[in-house]
Amino acid sequence: MTGYEIFWPLIAHVALVYGLYALLGLRRAKMVRAGGIAKSDYRENRGEPAESLVVKNCLANQFELPVLFYACCVLLYVTEADNLVCVCLAWLFVALRYAHAGVHVTSNDLRYRSPLFAAGYVALAAMWGWLAVWMAMG
């Protein structure tokens, strides 16, 4: 494949991260306006209200497993191992990250959030597995 197709899912994930930053800012501003917390309290992130804490935690999640996703996509491209299956897996991973984030910042129900995370984990593992096979085949 070796076009730029493998990078569109990365861009879509970056959009999710920017959206979560915006949501965090909105929720924090709402809490400050409502008098629930002082703006200065966010300096050290102590006692963050649950309404914004779930977004903050969700945002932190976007810099954990997705870091491996970014590395894998770049390596798939550089080694010319990207193909339609990899691009589909990349989109699947990102779709699952959106779904995971949606649950995280709303109900935060682990009955839904955990399987979404696990499915993304498996999709990403398949991408890394294909990269390993491709490199082993020389």
Mean pLDDT of 80-93: 97
What local confidence, expressed as pLDDT, does residue 10 receive? Answer: 97
Can you give the pLDDT at residue 111?
98
Q: In the predicted model, what is the mean pLDDT of residues 39-60?
A: 88
The pLDDT of 79-102, averaged and rounded, is: 97
Model confidence at 99: pLDDT above 90: yes
pLDDT of the residue at 41: 81
> How much is the average pLDDT of 31-52?
85
pLDDT at 2 over 90: no
What's residue 94's pLDDT? 98
Q: What is the spatial distance between Cα 117 and Cα 71, in angstroms, rounded to a whole number?
A: 18
Average pLDDT rounded to a whole number, residues 2-6: 90
Q: 42 pLDDT exceeds 90? A: no
Q: How does the average pLDDT of the chain come out, rounded?
A: 95
- Domains in the chain, please, with CATH? 5-136 (1.20.120.550)
pTM of this structure: 0.95
- Whole-number pLDDT of residue 40: 82
**pLDDT value at 81 more than 80:** yes
